[in-house]
A = this chain, B = another copy of it.
């Protein structure tokens, strides 16, 4: 029997596979497809202080091996998420819950993180300083070491009970420096990556496809870049990394962990195949046997 379990900041995960924020609703919707208790954890849709409609449609476009989205953080606001959505999820689901917190100002991050810290339904707080789809929004915090460190520090000052992960943007020059700055400011872990700023043009209409003009690219197309970033961040920090970007098979999970991830998130793959996470989890043991891996924990950073 192989051992798929991993541990993040003292919290045990039965396996490292976590559906990524924004691609899995509030989790309970997927209970229609399968028993979501097989997941390592669930990361919920990005949450802001106030309810947000998000961007106009079209919000979705396609690229080779990838999807562009410009959802723009549609969500019912932190209060409704904590009071209505998470109880619905917790009712049927008994593994860790990661709250993904987004915002437009330091104050907003702090406010929402404080609320999430109080909630008994949240196990880990993931601070999304990397959303490319809102103007004057999160991404600008995530593209310089200084601002990333500043948000981290502010959040860490008020969060007392839960690990704080900072989710980084790949639209940055030196991802390792940003991660290091977050670590120094007290982050308990790093999630990377969010999506790449990208666009498509409708040739017939000669106009951008997305109403927002640009959107975020994710999916298998970005896997080799995400892997490189996880590799670099692993060499720069000592806190755990959640590897994200283009993961769609058990082999991808293993490759990402060899690069340095302690756990992984699966985003776009859920949209193409609602069973994606379940299938990856089911495929993990046989993949591990194929490569002679007894315990997933033992391979973290093993490619270095």
Contact = CB atoms under 8 A, between A and B. Distances in A.
Copies of this chain: 2
B171 A231 contact: no
Contacts of A219: 64
A156 to B, nearest CB: 25
A196 B170 CA distance: 11
Interface string A201-220: 10110111000011001011
| SS class, residues of chain A in contact with chain B | mixed
Contacts of A173: 143, 171-173
A171 B65 CA distance: 20
A63 interface: yes
Contact of A64 (B61, B231, B246): B246
Interface residues of A, number: 44
Contact of A217 (B68, B204, B225, B255): B225
Contacts of A217: 224-225
A198 interface: yes
A172 to B, nearest CB: 6
A255 B203 contact: yes
B258 A201 contact: yes
A196 B214 contact: no
Contacts of A203: 251, 254-255, 258, 291
A8 interface: no
B206 A303 contact: yes
A198 B227 contact: yes
A221 interface: yes
A223 interface: yes
A224 B218 CA distance: 10
A227 B254 CA distance: 32
Interface in A83-114: none
A200 interface: yes
Given A63-B221, A200-B255, 15 more contacts: A63-B220, A64-B65, A64-B223, A65-B65, A65-B66, A65-B221, A196-B224, A197-B225, A198-B225, A201-B258, A201-B259, A203-B254, A203-B255, A214-B228, A214-B231
